[in-house]
Amino acid sequence: MIDIGYLFAAMAFIFALKLMNSPLTAKKGNRVAMIGMAVALVVTLFAPSIKPQNFMWIGVGLAIGFVGGYFPAKRVQMTAIPQMVALLNGLGGGAVALVALFEFLEANHLGHTGASVQSVTTVLSAIIGSISFAGSMIAFGKLQEILPGRPIGFKGQQGFNLALVIFITALSLAMLAFGQTNVALFIALLGASLVLGLTAVMPIGGADMPVVISLLNSFTGCAAGLAGFVLNNNALLIGGGLVGASGFILTLQMCVAMNRSLGNVLFSGMGSIVASTGDPTKPQKQPKSYSPEDVAILLSNANSVVIVPGYGMAVAQAQHQAKELAGKLMAMGVDVKYAVHPVAGRMPGHMNVLLAEADVPYEQLYELEQINPLFPETDVVLVVGANDVVNPAARYDKTSPIYGMPILDVDKARTVIVSKRSMNPGFAGVENELFLNDNTVMVFGNAKTTIAKISTALDQY
């Protein structure tokens, strides 16, 4: 009976993923997955191995998890969704590691010590779960800006990581060969995996965090699937296997969208530390700084305006002001378009979500391939808090960490207005020469207040 429930859940998961391939059916897909999950959880409660006296604890755990998960997820700002996903993924990884630890201790207690498929998968799910947990926490810290978004590392970090991988492998083999009763060894294995999670993600720049989270998501799925071997449980096997595989495909697709290889994303971090120190031979130019009023004049004289939103707009929640400004310009007969870069913000699709929230008509959103040919005929581009996705260095500077990433060619427009908090480099930690171009003017300050001021100033014209 329980396995029938699991079969239903597995079918629901597969069907849900299928539905998630199209924006039209995606919401239904998520609901289907929810139903599948609910069925899997409910039938599990009927498992004969559950002791009646432990139901109280199960109730407590579910209640805490539900309250702790539901309300923050309901309230979290749309801009903070990426770090929320990272955090939740980490918790999932942590849960896998805890299940593995439990099973290890129990097998020990029962005297099952020989190497078996169960002991191998226990060790593997513990390792992968721990890496996912620690790595996700670092990704969360970076996106939440508790940790600096720039790559952090030390000399020989990659060597250190390699050594750690070898150490973990050796430890696992040793454990499987003869040390299975050794709890300290298992704890050491968990510890080393946690450290590897930390040191592997630390040197990766914040801009690449979506890819990292997606990969760790796939890891957690794999680990959960392996835990299915340990517990001999079909729901875990199928759910975990599905996510492990589909998460990996998704990761690769994200890399393709950024025109990077997965290896490049994971291991180029140390390189960008060197590159981001900048080129000292170039003379330091000062950017032109305009007031919001000056910007309003520029805009009112334009025939066509393209708005390029970025993370700064998301942070400042300036999408409503941007839409208001666009509305005024359109009322003045200006042609207004929005250019959405696939990886603008912190997650692919981030900008679409925000602009949709502000009720920006879908027809005004242009994707990279559609808008780039139009820039040379555009009078004014208004960049709102975007940086790396408009950095011309991506086109030619081979030393730049963002080299090769498709960018919005805003520098080809007649005038570029950049609304930004400061001259600080973007998330990838790279200077942006666009800001120093002759046809670029900067307007400093919080995006929301700046856009609102421009909008007010525009009323005079």
- 101 and 228 in contact (C-beta within 8 Å)? no
Residues 201-230 that bind another protein (CB under 8 A): 210, 213-214, 217-218, 220-221, 223-225, 227-230
Choosing from 182, 234, 259, 261, the residue that interacts with another protein (CB under 8 A) is 234
What are the residues whose beta carbons fall under 8 Å from the beta carbon of 210, sequence distance 6 or more?
Answer: 82, 254, 343, 346, 347, 348
Handedness of CA 126, 130, 136, 139 (dihedral sign): negative
Residue 406 interacts with another protein (CB under 8 A): yes or no: no
Please say whether the beta carbons of 19 and 26 come within 8 A: yes
Surface-to-core class of residue 145, CB atoms within 10 Å of its CB (0-12 exposed, 13-18 middle, 19+ buried): exposed
Sheet holding 415-420, edge to edge: 365-367, 335-340, 304-309, 380-384, 415-420, 440-444
Q: Which is nearer to another protein, 185 or 358 (CB)?
A: 358
| Distance, CA of 386 to CA of 417 (rounded, Å) | 11
From candidates 147, 167, 241, 423, binder to another protein by CB under 8 A = 241
CB 166 within 8 A of CB 196: no
Residue of the chain from 79, 81, 199, 207 that contacts another protein (CB under 8 A): 81
Active site residue 388: yes
Residue-level length of the chain: 461
Asked if residue 187 binds another protein (CB under 8 A), the reply is no
CB 211 within 8 A of CB 251: yes
The number of residues that bind another protein (CB under 8 A) is 121
Which single residue is written with the structure tokens 């707009």?
Answer: 313
Q: Is 191 in the site for another protein (CB under 8 A)?
A: no
Alpha-carbon torsion (262, 267, 272, 275), positive or negative? negative
Binding test (CB under 8 A) with another protein, winner from 79, 94, 138, 384: 94
Is 236 a binding residue for another protein by CB under 8 A? The answer is yes
Residue 116 in the binding site for another protein (CB under 8 A): yes
The nearer residue to another protein, 66 or 154, going by C-beta atoms, is: 66
Q: Report the site for another protein in 125-184 (rule: CB under 8 A).
A: none
- Does residue 117 bind another protein (CB under 8 A)? yes
From the list 350, 420, 448, 453, which residue makes contact with another protein (rule: CB under 8 A)?
A: 350
Residue 190 beta carbon to another protein: minimum distance, rounded to whole angstroms? 12
- 363 belongs to the binding site for another protein (CB under 8 A): yes
Q: Closest separation between CB of residue 393 and another protein, Å?
A: 23
Indicate the residue among 105 and 330 with the shorter CB distance to another protein: 105
User: Widest CA span of the chain, in angstroms?
Assistant: 83
Q: Which of 3, 208, 335, 388 is catalytic?
A: 388
- List, in sequence order, every residue forming a beta bridge with 313; answer none if it has no partner: none
Q: What is the nearest approach in angstroms of another protein to the Cβ of residue 436?
A: 30
Please identify every residue annotated as catalytic.
388
